[in-house]
Amino acid sequence: MSTSTAARRAAPLAEILLQATQVVVTVMAGRTPDAALGRVALPLRPATMEAVYTALRAYGRADFFLARLMDRPLKDAEVRALLLLALNRLERAPDDAYRVVDQAVTAAQSLANGRFKGVVNGVLRNFMRQRIELVQAAQADSVATWQHPLWWIERVQRDHPDRWQDILAAGNTHPPLVLRVNRRRLASADFLTQLDAVGIAARRLDDAAVLIEKAVAVDAIPGFRAGLCSVQDWGAQSVPQRLELQDGLRVLDACAAPGGKTAHLLETNDLELTALDVDAARTLRIRQNLDRLGLHATIKTADACAVASWWDGRPFDRILADVPCSASGVARRHPDAKWLRRETDVADLAQRQTAILEALWPTLAPGGKMLYVTCSVFEQENSAQVHDFLVRHKDARRADASLPTALLPNAEHDGFFFVLLQKA
């Protein structure tokens, strides 16, 4: 039995809803859910996380229903969050409706001195009675249908006129769990044998990537703590190949935390690698990841744009510029980003990306190559960014291999954009 299944069976749904309510309130206040989830007691955390992330992916839909089930907006943030969570469960599991209502009302007793028990009961029972009409009404509303903010929907429609529906639909699904086998330690075929021995169903995607058919806790994965594998999206695992590495190169991973790509580069080739990140706490995670895998790099905490504070003047043969972005290609992994992000943030992020590229380019050796990477599906951060860079730098050219530049999110990988730039 997985940890998540055990938690769901051991804890009453009301307790899970209460814990999830506090996390959703945190997100509605403009913060990411990570810290709030970290405060949830460990036995409850997997089930709480599942409830929160499922509700956030479908926030636009539950919000649509709630607006039509209440005469006026509900001001109490906790009760509102509880109702969003419960409405999400009611639509997904109609056969469990009476338990969901009962447990939501029980949870409401612990909020606002129980003053909203009747409201919670009434709203949820009205949803059960009006379900068909509400679902039909939602089909005419873009946000309720596609479960993304309207500006996001319109941008994806404009940037990907032939694939926009697939991209938005993928953003509402549960993300795949893909492992990267540490090929310095074992082959993927041997790792699949180890997974099968403990009853974990999986299939091989390539020489290093293994897709887990049903998500499990990392502690249940054989050899994870011993450094035999890492969790990394299949799309992200193409970086070493795209960067055209070979042993002995001097390499910079410029926005490295938490270190997944850093480790993969070192697993693939013997490199003189510097890993850089602006956040000290995240830089520590690079060290922890490398220690688990038995790998070494020079790790520095610094702003990539403040070159004088971290560069020793020796040019790099390769640079990985996995820049900060909107994360629109990985929205299903970070569903809070859909609702916390604003359209103006995309332009701000594009400016930051430009600054990083301009700062890093002088540190690249003549003939060296820099891989520009985002986990975005927005063209302003992708093709438009690269076009403008090539206009400004006549000593730069694209040096892409046969691999596709854009990966759009699907059942096996998230959304990414890659361009390899070479200095004349």
Q: What sign does the CA torsion over 229, 232, 238, 244 have?
A: negative
What DSSP element (H or E) covers 220?
Answer: none
State the chain's maximal CA–CA distance in angstroms. 71
Query: Which among 308, 320, 305 is positioned nearest to 254, based on CA atoms?
Result: 320
Give the whole-angstrom CA distance, residue 115 versus residue 112: 6
Please answer whether residues 260 and 230 qualify as being in contact, where contact means their C-beta atoms are separated by less than 8 angstroms: yes
DSSP 328: G
Please answer whether residues 409 and 338 qualify as being in contact, where contact means their C-beta atoms are separated by less than 8 angstroms: no
**Alpha-carbon radius of gyration of the chain:** 23
- Non-local (6+) Cβ contacts of 212 within 8 A are 176, 177, 178, 179, 195, 200, 201, 202, 221
Give the whole-angstrom CA distance, residue 208 versus residue 303: 32
Of the residues 229, 255, 325, 375, which is catalytic? 375
Give the whole-angstrom CA distance, residue 192 versus residue 198: 10
Can you list the alpha helix ranges (DSSP code H) found in 178-325?
188-197, 239-242, 260-268, 280-293
Give the whole-angstrom CA distance, residue 267 versus residue 261: 10
Q: Is the peptide bond before 258 cis (omega within 30 degrees of 0)?
A: yes
305 tagged catalytic: no
Catalytic site positions: 375
